[in-house]
């Protein structure tokens, strides 16, 4: 995979770029673009090459992924199984909004550990608030001059 430590290997397909780099005991695969059936083979090979080096940890950086399909999920789950058999820790690093939504909808989030290395202020989407709570930049919703319980005109 890598000739020297710290040197990145770049794989390109028409709509996906994969950068693999080893630093210390971690191999990091950064994915940029779309993950779907047409480039699943390149994605699987990059992850398998990362596991071949037997690192202590394989980090899959998904922050720049803008399309995530079931074939990509299948590849990640198979890689998780292989990593566990080799004794390698696998983690998804800062998944994008579409990846998080897919993991939640498919109920596979508990099987793929997620680590957020992106600072909260630079994330693309704000954290979710409970329904009915006002945003910090808006005034509270409702009547501004009294309420139905207190009749200011009476």
C-alpha span between 135 and 77 (Å, rounded)? 37
Structural domain contains residue 109: yes
Overall domain count for the chain = 1
Structural domain contains residue 144: no
Structural domain contains residue 151: no
C-alpha span between 106 and 28 (Å, rounded)? 25
Bridge pairing between strands 114-115 and 89-93: parallel
pTM: 0.70
Query: Whole domain around residue 87: which residue ranges?
Result: 14-117
Vertex 98 angle, CA 96 and 99, to 5°: 65
Structural domain contains residue 97: yes
Structural domain contains residue 9: no
Structural domain contains residue 139: no
**Could you give the percent of the chain with pLDDT greater than 90?**
56
- What CATH number does the domain containing 43 carry? 3.30.750.24
> Could you report the per-residue pLDDT of 69-95, keeping only the tens digit for each?
999 999 999 999 999 999 999 999 999
Q: Read off the pLDDT band of 2 (50, 70, 90).
A: very low
> Could you report the per-residue pLDDT of 52-63, keeping only the tens digit for each?
989 999 999 999
Q: Which helix (H) or strand (E) holds 45?
A: helix 40-52
The neighbouring-strand residues paired with 68 are 35
């Amino acid at each position: 995979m890598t000739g020297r430590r710290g040197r990145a290997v770049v794989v390109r397909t028409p709509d996906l770029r994969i950068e693999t780099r080893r630093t210390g005991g971690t191999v990091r695969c950064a994915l940029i673009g779309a993950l779907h059936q047409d480039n699943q083979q390149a994605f699987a090979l990059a992850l398998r090459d990362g596991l071949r080096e037997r690192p202590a940890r394989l980090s899959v950086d998904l922050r720049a992924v803008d399309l995530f399909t079931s074939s990509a999920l299948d590849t990640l789950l198979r890689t998780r199984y292989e990593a566990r058999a080799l004794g390698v820790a696998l983690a998804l690093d800062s998944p994008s909004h579409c990846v998080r939504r897919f993991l939640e909808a498919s109920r596979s989030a508990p099987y793929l550990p997620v680590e957020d290395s992106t600072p909260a202020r630079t994330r693309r989407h704000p954290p979710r608030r409970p329904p009915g709570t006002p945003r910090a930049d808006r005034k509270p919703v409702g009547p501004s001059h009294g309420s139905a319980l207190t009749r200011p005109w009476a």
